[in-house]
Amino acid sequence: FHHFVVKGQKCMSKAKLHGKTVIVTGSNTGIGKTTAIDLAKRGARVILACRCKQRGETALQEVRNESGSNQVVFMQLDLGSLKSVRSFAETFLKSEPRLDILINNAGICMQGQTEDGFGLMFGVNHLGHFLLTNLLLDRLKECGPSRIVNVSSMAHNFGKIDFDCLNSHKTLGFGTSSYRVFQVYCDSKLCNVLFNHELAKRLQGTSVTCYTLHPGAISSDLGRNTSSVLHVVLKPVTTFFFKNTIQGCQTTLHCALQEGIEHLSGRYFSNCTVRELYAKAKDDAAAKKLWEISERFCGLP
């Protein structure tokens, strides 16, 4: 109940980001867009990494207008295509000298399959971000102290990881029940938390830290692909009870900016506060196994 009706804490950091560069994935809508606007207002150079060129460019104008900054750039990134992730990273690394904050925000809750034949939610929510982060890691290290923020969800609590299922690249077809779609969404959000757990270990001794979080229950477009009737019926309820996208981006901003939280690298936040995870979300062996299987799927050495 607390998670659903509390509008939440505000990010208290007054950090200015002039001369710093930030990437926000999935920033043409929802909390990605409000995160980008806030960071641009603080002076950062903000890269909007979005799938659709047309929607990305519309968002670019909005983010520029609302932030009053012209240091905002659109770069095309489809997380459902490993080729697109590689080409985004290549373009970014060639054209931008710095990377100070990487915000892995994009997320999807619907059935389907990625270009590479993975389940859409596993592919976009986890695997695309896994590859993206790995390809940008050296640049983050060069620019340290730098941060990686992985937007997960409290839904990870209902997740489980079936490695056999991942190996068989099982995907959900159209007509799959909403319950099953939600279960696989929860699984992908558990992948975000386990990825963050293993990443923090691998980053120990570097100047890069990473954090994962639940942004709150937010009235956004995330459920747009669930039953349209349900969406229409629930919209007034969610608009009233849920956080709006400005409230919804506060924990992301906290993890990206708050001074003095570096010792909390690898931890999980909600309402701008560090929270305990259940054992399955900080399971060393599962996190390591997920990392190794993801490397194999992405063709990383």
Ligand X SMILES: NC(=O)c1ccc[n+]([C@@H]2O[C@H](COP(=O)([O-])OP(=O)(O)OC[C@H]3O[C@@H](n4cnc5c(N)ncnc54)[C@H](O)[C@@H]3O)[C@@H](O)[C@H]2O)c1
Interface region with ligand X, contact rule CB under 6 A, candidates 91-99, 175-183, 211-219, 227-235 = 211-219
What span, in angstroms and rounded, lies between the C-alpha atoms of 289 and 156?
A: 17
Give just the sign of the alpha carbon dihedral 19, 213, 225, 129.
Answer: positive
Task: Choose the catalytic residue: 185, 211, 268, 278.
Answer: 185
Report the residue number, 179 or 205, with the smaller CB distance to ligand X. Answer: 179
Per-residue contact string for residues 102-131; x = within reach of ligand X by CB under 6 A = ---xxxx---------------x-------
CB of 24 to ligand X, least distance (A): 9
Per-residue contact string for residues 151-190; x = within reach of ligand X by CB under 6 A = x-x-------------------------------------
Q: Return the residue matching tokens 């009737």.
A: 229
CB of 234 to ligand X, least distance (A): 11
90 C-beta neighbours (distance < 10 Å), count = 11
Rule CB under 6 A: say whether 8 interacts with ligand X.
no
In the residue annotation, 185 being an active-site residue is answered as: yes
Residues touching ligand X, count (CB under 6 A): 27
Residues near ligand X (CB under 6 A) are 25-26, 28-32, 50-51, 77-80, 105-108, 124, 151, 153, 214-215, 217-218, 220-222
